[in-house]
Amino acid sequence: MASIRERNGRWQARVTRNGFMPETRSFDSHDAAVKWARAIEAEIDKGVFVSLKEAERTTLKDILNRYSDEVSPLKRATKDDQAKLRWLSAQKIACLSLANLTPKAIAHFRDARLSKVSAGTVLRDLAVLRSVINHARREWGMAIENPVEKIRKPPAPPHRDRVLNHDEEQRLLNALTPSELRDEAGRFAKGTRDPWLKPMVILAIESAMRRGELLALEWRHLDLTRRTAFLPTTKNGHSRHVPLSSRAIRTIQELPHSIDGRVFPIARWTVEQVFERATKIAGLTGLHFHDLRHTAATRLAEKVPNVIELAAITGHTNVGMLKRYYHPAAEALARKLG
């Protein structure tokens, strides 16, 4: 039964039912209080009532921070995940309560982001929000619908198909060759002194290993006699053995051993910085380190025509994903036709 009473110039409605927590809300008028109470009672009678109390007092920022503390540490890419969550929690939309986090609010966030960044970046932002809200619904009992599911998504950008030809590869390797040449200001005029990037690029092209896999690779996981590298943890959660070409073996044998046991004892940000600088020196616009994986998959497909064997090398769990990395030239396919 609902009770209506006046308190401090406002009308408070309180609905109590056996088996339900009391629902209370204040209004400016008696009629509004009565209307709300009747609506709540009708929903309870129909068995469709869902309390929004917790959703009203919990903000998006609250669940982003909780997700960062409780869920992100369980992921392999913890630092990247937490960095994205920190950025999202600093946005205006994070101040909204979950009850007020409407599709309209999400759409406004989407449009504001599209005016500044690419559609791919916006899709990744929305994917993070969708995952966090779904987790809050399933695991933390937040009684809300996911507003991200109800908005129009920007068209996904075309998949990258950048593949290095052999001339471009040589220019990149030349730019990564350590050099002592300095310009008039005393700065290194060509290349970089980093001794790890050139062999890391060669191994990426020869093996199709991801950047993270290369950075996590340890000497104890290499078997140069059997010509394999063991990856205990990969992006898809499965371990795999990667076959190594003769060129990859020679490259590894020339590397010094670091005291921390890693084959490439460098930080991710160093890879990004040095690789970007080298691409500019080599005149290779729009080249990302991940494009080396596309290059490797395309070249390996010429040596390993069996798609199952190729997927075992690259670590893809389905052929559909592998197709995104395999970019054969039309003339090469024409030669196979005879």
Catalytic residue among 110, 113, 240, 316: 316
**Torsion from C-alpha of 164, 168, 171, 176, nearest 10 degrees:** -10
User: Which of the residues 25, 160, 235, 288 is marked catalytic?
Assistant: 235
Catalytic residue among 113, 293, 294, 299: 293
The set of residues, in sequence order, having a beta carbon less than 8 Å from that of 308 and lying 6+ positions away, is none
Query: Is 46 labeled as catalytic in the residue annotation?
Result: no
Active site residue 210: yes
In whole angstroms, how far apart are CA 98 and each of 53, 136, 141, 197? Answer: 10, 10, 12, 46
Residue 293 among the catalytic residues: yes
Given the residues 61, 67, 198, 325, the one annotated as active site? 325
CB neighbour class for 229 (10 Å; exposed up to 12, middle 13-18, buried from 19): buried
Active site residue 226: no
CA distance 144 to 51: 9
Give the relative orientation of helices 268-282 and 166-176 as an angle to the nearest 10 degrees: 120
Concerning whether 290 is annotated as a catalytic residue, the answer is: yes
Which residues have a Cβ under 8 Å from the Cβ of 150 and sit 6 or more positions away? 103, 106
* Residue among 28, 44, 27 at smallest CA distance from 13: 27
Question: Is 235 among the residues known to form the active site?
Answer: yes
Beta strands in 197-281 (DSSP E): 222-223, 228-231, 240-243
Nearest in space to 281 (alpha carbons), one of 169, 172, 185:
172
Residue 6 DSSP SS3? strand
Q: Give the active site residue among 79, 290, 303, 323.
A: 290
User: What positions carry a catalytic annotation?
Assistant: 210, 235, 290, 293, 316, 325
